[in-house]
């Protein structure tokens, strides 16, 4: 059996997939396979992938979740590493450190505790690494899953955690809110994932939440590079639009929705508070200043813009959905 299967969904990933694959090839552990689930790339993605001798499987449904599902059925590894095409493994021993928690047989997956901060990166990538989330709404309501310099924590949820020096062991209880785990370098035990998965879309957080027993995961004290939007505000807005559109598009087949895990009044309060936080600008600006004082970087001052854009986009998509004008997004012209 192969030790690790790297599962990477792609769709016109271009330069990003080259950087991603190059970082995998540099790993000290060489017992792995790479499975590319391609959604019909029309750029040079597949030409790049062929240079790295990766296995390419077709992903006709195009989304990342569908790609993971297709690749899972071809994977032969003992462990399954879910890597996004815009991820870069920051060190040669990244995989080695990520596999260490599995010496504890109760742990079913491991995930980096932070996004690697790179001062030379684009300002939106830096902002996401500093905030601990790609989506400021996820940070605001506390379901983020990477270390935030604002909170000095990797999540805003109250979870059962044990510090194991090289990683944090976390107990997740089905039926309770769960951080937004499952992407950007999450590694699962293959037996666990294959045993509990079925369907055309792999929403790994759904699998965990649908179990009747608690599970244990590890947040490894390392990072992963996520070249999120680099410095493109337009790309950031497009991704926010796609994120909420997909939530509405797939909610009928989803088994987990954190909004359903809290009472309606709390949800209304959270949304109202985020509206005030975003629209009045000053609260978000104060957050930027606090962040800057903790970790000086001008990228913090994208925070008010990110919050405002997210609120406007989420409001627009939600209103159209409730009025019956919602349509799933086409991926035909999508690019990384």
Q: Higher-confidence residue: 292 or 255?
A: 292
Whether 263 shows a pLDDT value over 70: the answer reads: no
Whether 335 shows a pLDDT value over 80: the answer reads: no
Per-range mean pLDDT, top range of 188-197, 206-215, 239-248: 188-197
- Burial 213-236, CB ≥16 within 10 A → b, else e: eebbbbbbbbbbbbbbbeeeeebb
Q: Higher-confidence residue: 316 or 321?
A: 316
Q: Higher-confidence residue: 323 or 111?
A: 111
Return mean pLDDT, the chain.
91
Q: Phi first, then psi: what are they for 234, rounded to 5°?
A: -60, -45
Domain 2-226 fold = Spore Coat Polysaccharide Biosynthesis Protein SpsA; Chain A (3.90.550)
pLDDT of 257 reads 53
pLDDT of 324 reads 86
Whether 208 shows a pLDDT value over 50: the answer reads: yes
Domain residue extents for the chain:
2-226, 233-322
Whether 259 shows a pLDDT value over 50: the answer reads: no
Whether 283 shows a pLDDT value over 70: the answer reads: yes
Distance CA 230, CA 216 (A): 33
* C-alpha distances in Å from residue 110, one per residue of 90, 219, 250, 255: 16, 6, 26, 22
């Amino acid at each position: 059996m192969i030790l690790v299967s790297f599962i990477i969904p792609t769709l016109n990933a271009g330069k990003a997939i080259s950087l991603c694959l190059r970082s995998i090839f540099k790993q000290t552990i060489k017992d792995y396979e790479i499975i590319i689930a391609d959604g019909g790339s029309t750029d040079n993605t597949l030409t790049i992938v062929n240079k790295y001798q990766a296995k390419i499987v077709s992903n006709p449904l195009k989304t990342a979740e569908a790609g993971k599902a297709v690749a899972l059925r071809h994977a032969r590894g003992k462990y399954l590493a879910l890597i996004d095409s815009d991820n870069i493994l920051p060190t040669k021993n990244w995989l080695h450190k990520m596999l260490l928690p599995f010496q504890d047989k109760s742990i079913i997956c491991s995930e980096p505790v932070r996004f690697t901060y790179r001062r030379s990166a684009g300002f939106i990538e830096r902002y996401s690494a500093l905030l601990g989330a790609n989506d400021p709404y996820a940070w605001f309501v506390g379901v983020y899953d990477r270390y935030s310099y604002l909170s000095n924590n990797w999540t805003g949820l109250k979870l059962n955690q044990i510090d194991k020096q090289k990683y944090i062991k976390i107990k997740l209880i089905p039926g309770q809110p769960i951080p937004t785990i499952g992407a950007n370098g999450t590694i699962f035990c293959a037996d666990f994932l294959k045993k509990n998965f079925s369907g055309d879309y792999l929403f790994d957080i759904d699998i965990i939440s649908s179990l009747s027993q608690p599970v244990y995961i590890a947040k490894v004290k390392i990072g992963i590079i996520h070249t999120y939007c680099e410095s493109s505000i337009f790309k950031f807005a497009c991704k926010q639009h796609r994120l909420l559109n997909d939530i509405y598009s797939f909610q009928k087949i989803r088994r987990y929705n954190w909004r359903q895990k809290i009472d309606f009044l709390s949800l209304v309060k959270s949304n109202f508070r985020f509206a005030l936080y975003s629209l009045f600008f000053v609260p978000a600006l104060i957050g930027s200043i606090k962040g800057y004082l903790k970790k000086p970087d001008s990228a913090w001052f994208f925070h008010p813009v990110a919050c405002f854009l997210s609120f406007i986009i989420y409001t627009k998509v939600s209103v159209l959905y409730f009025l019956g004008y919602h349509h799933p997004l086409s991926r035909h012209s999508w690019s990384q």
